[in-house]
Amino acid sequence: MNNKTPQEVIKEPSMVMQKELIASNYEALTSVAETGRKVCSTFVPGNLNELIKCFDMVNNLPEINAINNGMRKKSGSMIRDAERIGHSEDVCTYVKSDIGMMAQGNIAPNGKPMPRPDMLMLSYTGCYTFMKWFELLRHEYNCPTAMLQVPYQGDGKITPEMIRYIVKQLKEDVIPTMEKVSGVKFDIDRLREMLKLSAKAEDDLVWVLESAKNKPTPIDAYFGAVYYMGPIFTAFRGTQEAVDYYTMLRAEIEQRLKNGQGPITPEGEQKEQKYRLVVEGPPNWTSFRDFWKMFYDEGAVVVASTYSKVGGLYDEGFRHDASKPLESLAEYCLSCYTNNNMPQRVDLIEKYMHEFEADGFLTNSIKSCNSFAAGELLMMREIEKRTGKPGAFIETDLVDPRYFSQANVKNRLESYFQMIEQRRQRNAA
């Protein structure tokens, strides 16, 4: 029997360290008036964090602000404020949360005012909303903007011409803009050193994610991976802090593997692992713990997810390469999950289903996220056909609490797990 109160959340040392890292970036952002550092706002997929760090700028990521506000139950009022201003109900709720945050004084999670960005850096990797979002931010802040146009992988492959096209933009537009805004001269050797640190952290992250191939899995690759992603997908890739974090995380997972332990959840260790799932789509942030608990209560654990690859498909072999720094940044932007075409995504999910020995495939379709939601039903049907494993489809939203129906999601999940059980019984007969 679980006697813990809702306030008693179990946390691993690495989770505490991750929280401290994210908090330290907010402290750096809200202290720029004293430190004199410049602020570069950018997005998570395809972000050029190492390049931003080369110019001593602080990295602000609007999606992370929205996620923080969602998990702290503040995004609902921000979204309603944005809609009162005139933004449509169908607009991405990350955008509306960001606009509403500005309307409410633009206060960071540490309670201090967020600074105005000195530069907007848009690395376009498959989400058209990012372009419109930055148009709104540029209108609001009237600051220099650099856009890195990343070709879409329409044919499912990265060509030398694509890489050359991105490198040309880096040399002729992005880097000169960063030099002008920051007042710092570009140092390619400094970039190389950061890319070495990136690759080391990426190695450990991939090891952690692939540890879910074990039975029992020592991690949850969807809810738990949200914390694992934090440092490398945001403002710490290319830093010693990220290397230290992933060294700590890997040691924790190695110990859990040695002990035969399951993932650590807010409810404690997940000892029961009746169902192994692959999940498509982002999680719901406003009811994150309640959402996770639904899986925990049913003995379901996620062994692989597409969302945990939104900031880089490192498990497919990509590593930042110090021997070809600008080309490596280009390849990274091109290979983000949201820049892959539909057949690539289906192939990747099918691979996960087999390699992680999943019992089923679950899609959490996000109402306001077209870059994920488009084609998800077709993807699910194709995965069912290829693997013979049952799929399920639930619907929530990113940070809009109005679109998380706990009873509805719980009923659908319970029905889905019953379907898996019935399928098992038929196969065993």
- Amino acid of residue 247: T
Using CA of residue 147, residue 151, residue 152, residue 156, what is the dihedral sign? negative
| pLDDT value, residue 9 | 65
Residue in 56, 130, 64, 60 with CA at minimum distance from that of residue 97: 64
Mean pLDDT of 330-348: 93
State what percent of residues in the chain have pLDDT above 70.
Answer: 98
Average pLDDT over residues 283-301: 96
Q: What is the pLDDT of residue 1?
A: 39
pLDDT value of residue 4: 46
Residue 335 has pLDDT above 60, yes or no: yes
Position 2 scores a pLDDT of 43
CA dihedral 238, 243, 245, 246 (to 10 degrees): 110
The confidence score (pLDDT) of residue 12 equals 80
Q: How far apart are CA 420 and CA 426, in angstroms?
A: 10
Q: Encode pLDDT of 392-419 as tens digits.
A: 999 999 999 999 999 999 999 999 999 9
The pLDDT of residue 8 is: 61
CA 107 to chain centre: 22
Q: What is the pLDDT of residues 83-99, one digit of tens each?
A: 999 999 888 999 999 99
Report pLDDT for 413.
Answer: 96
Residue 83, classified by CB atoms within 10 Å of its CB into exposed (0-12), middle (13-18) or buried (19+), is: middle
Q: Is the pLDDT of residue 425 over 50?
A: yes
The pLDDT value recorded for residue 128 is: 77
Per-residue pLDDT, averaged over 196-218, amounts to 98
What's the average model confidence in pLDDT over 350-360?
98
For the record, the structure tokens of 393 come out as 């489809």
DSSP letters for 169-202: HIIIIIHHHHHHHH-----HHHHHHHHHHHHHHH
Q: How far is CA 147 from the centre of its chain?
A: 21
At residue 374, the pLDDT reads: 78
**pLDDT at site 368:** 85
Average pLDDT score over residue span 110-131? 90
Average pLDDT, the chain: 93
- Give the CA distances from residue 321 to residues 214, 236, 245, 269, in Å, rounded to whole numbers and listed in that order: 29, 17, 20, 37
Rg (CA), the chain: 21
Give the residue extent of every domain in the chain: 13-428
- Residue 263, pLDDT > 50, answer yes
Residue type, 380: M
Q: In Å, how far are 42, 122, 232, 390, 408 from 46, measured between CA atoms?
A: 9, 9, 12, 33, 34
CA distance 125 to 338: 6
Mean of pLDDT values over 328-342: 92
Q: What is the pLDDT of residue 241?
A: 97
Q: What's the rounded mean pLDDT across residues 206-231?
A: 97
**What digits encode the pLDDT tens for the residues 297-314?**
999 999 999 999 988 999
Q: Please identify which residue in the block is written with the tokens 């030099």.
A: 179
- How confident is the model over 372-397, as pLDDT tens digits? 777 899 999 999 999 999 999 999 99
Residue 303 has a pLDDT of: 98
150-154, 193-197, 332-336, 405-409 — most confident range: 193-197
Residue ranges of alpha helices (H) inside 55-154 are: 62-71, 75-85, 93-103, 128-141
pLDDT at 426: 84
Model confidence pLDDT, tens digit, residues 1-10: 344 444 466 7
pLDDT tens-digit profile of 40-88? 999 998 899 999 999 999 999 999 999 999 999 999 999 999 999 999 9
284 CB-contact burial (10 Å; exposed 0-12 / middle 13-18 / buried 19+):
buried
Contacts of 427 (CB under 8 A, 6+ apart): none
